[in-house]
Structure 1
Amino acid sequence: MTNLVQLRLPEDRAQQLRNLATAKGTSLSGAVGALMKLLYEHTEAEHNIPSVEVNVLADGIAIRFPNSPTTGFSFDAASKIANTIREYLNGEHLGEKNAHLTDPDSHASSFAVWRRGNSIKVAVPMNAPEKNFTHDLAEEFADLLDKAVTRSKVAH
């Protein structure tokens, strides 16, 4: 499970978040995620997930999760990770663990995605410790990968 923290908010602000979550049919975390998405779309605030590193390289993307090595992926493989995460978020692959060998010779650029309970788990490379994402953060991670691929295509 993802580590959870407790935030102290004035009751009116907490109720605003509950109302937003109810209106969007999501959790409080999902409501905060929706607010963060708006922030990133309408400001110059840097879009990131603090425990995840996504770096654009000349020939692909490097991803690093806590307790895992930095792993390089081609742009196509990074898009495959994002698409696989979205498939899980859409309810596909129930009870399945998807492991992808993006480099069958070395297994270096591999990943695995699966769902357990309310978490989407991603391992990069696939034999490394998994990173647990809530649904809203998994979607945000997929968005980060897509933006990195788009940014690299614009730069080259």
Structure 2
Amino acid sequence: MTRKQNPTIQLPRERIEQLRQFGQATSASTMSEIVGSLLKLARQQGLVEHGIPGIDVNVLADGLAIRFPNSPTTGFSFEAASRIADTIREYLNGEHVGEKIEERIDIHLTDPDNHAGSFSIWRRGNSLKIGIPMNAPEMNFTHDLAAEFADLLDRAIRQSKVA
């Protein structure tokens, strides 16, 4: 079994020290969290698009359609999508330790036959595993990326209320 390696980024020592200082100022403890904080600032400035590559979140008239890589598109009502975001934040806050949540959510979308409103989430090491739909291949999220996904869902729900 070949393990997928994360890319290595080579930086001068001075940049690494600057990143560490930034991490201390923002309470980010890992390089992934530091880079996530920098990207969050860039999104707030409009320099980087608000989204996660490979994940599609589309606003429908009555909910959100979410698609993870190698998974079918899954529909959720706005209330159900909000529940997913809240559950992610609960895990990030240390709740549900040792638990795996698999939840099938009642949905009321215009095309319910094409949507299986379910998701799963559990903690694996220092990351979260999220499956949408529940039995699809799960995605591995660092804490900062999971928080960004929850924010992405909330943002899509807010956009639907404006439109």
Give your verdict on TM over 0.5: yes
Distance change >3 Å, CA 25–CA 48, structure 1 → 2: closer
Report the 3-state secondary structure (helix = DSSP H, G, I; strand = E; otherwise coil) of the residue aligned with 1:66: coil
Deviation at 1:19, TM superposition (A): 2.1
Unaligned runs of 5+ in 2: none
Distance change >3 Å, CA 49–CA 117, structure 1 → 2: same
Partner deviation per Cα, 1:51-85 (whole Å, 9 max, x = no partner)? 21111111111111111111111111110000000
Answer whether contact 1:86 1:142 (CA < 8 A) is retained.
yes
Which residue is equivalent to 1:135? 143
Using structure 2 for the length normalisation, give the TM-score.
Answer: 0.87
Aligned-partner Cα distance in 2 for 1:127–1:77: 17
The aligned amino acid for 2:53 is P
Which residue is equivalent to 1:47? 50
User: Which one of 35, 39, 61 corresponds to residue 32 of structure 1?
Assistant: 35
Deviation at 1:45, TM superposition (A): 3.0
Distance change >3 Å, CA 45–CA 60, structure 1 → 2: same
Answer whether contact 2:28 2:37 (CA < 8 A) is retained.
no
Q: Within 5 Å, give how 1:26-105 maps onto structure 2.
A: 26-43=29-46, 45-103=48-106
Aligned-partner Cα distance in 2 for 1:4–1:139: 20
4+ residue stretches of structure 1 with deviation over 4 A? 104-107
Report the 3-state secondary structure (helix = DSSP H, G, I; strand = E; otherwise coil) of the residue aligned with 1:140: helix
Aligned-partner Cα distance in 2 for 1:32–1:141: 15
The aligned amino acid for 1:11 is R
Using structure 1 for the length normalisation, give the TM-score.
Answer: 0.91
Report the 3-state secondary structure (helix = DSSP H, G, I; strand = E; otherwise coil) of the residue aligned with 2:136: coil
Aligned-partner Cα distance in 1 for 2:24–2:8: 20
Deviation at 1:7, TM superposition (A): 1.3
Report the 3-state secondary structure (helix = DSSP H, G, I; strand = E; otherwise coil) of the residue aligned with 2:19: helix
Deviation at 1:42, TM superposition (A): 2.0
Partner deviation per Cα, 1:8-32 (whole Å, 9 max, x = no partner)? 2232112211222234141111011
Which has the larger displacement, 96-105 or 54-63? 96-105
Q: Within 5 Å, give how 1:104-123 maps onto structure 2.
A: 108-123=116-131
Answer whether contact 1:2 1:134 (CA < 8 A) is retained.
no
How many matched pairs? 155
RMSD of aligned Cα (Å): 2.1
Answer whether contact 1:2 1:133 (CA < 8 A) is retained.
no
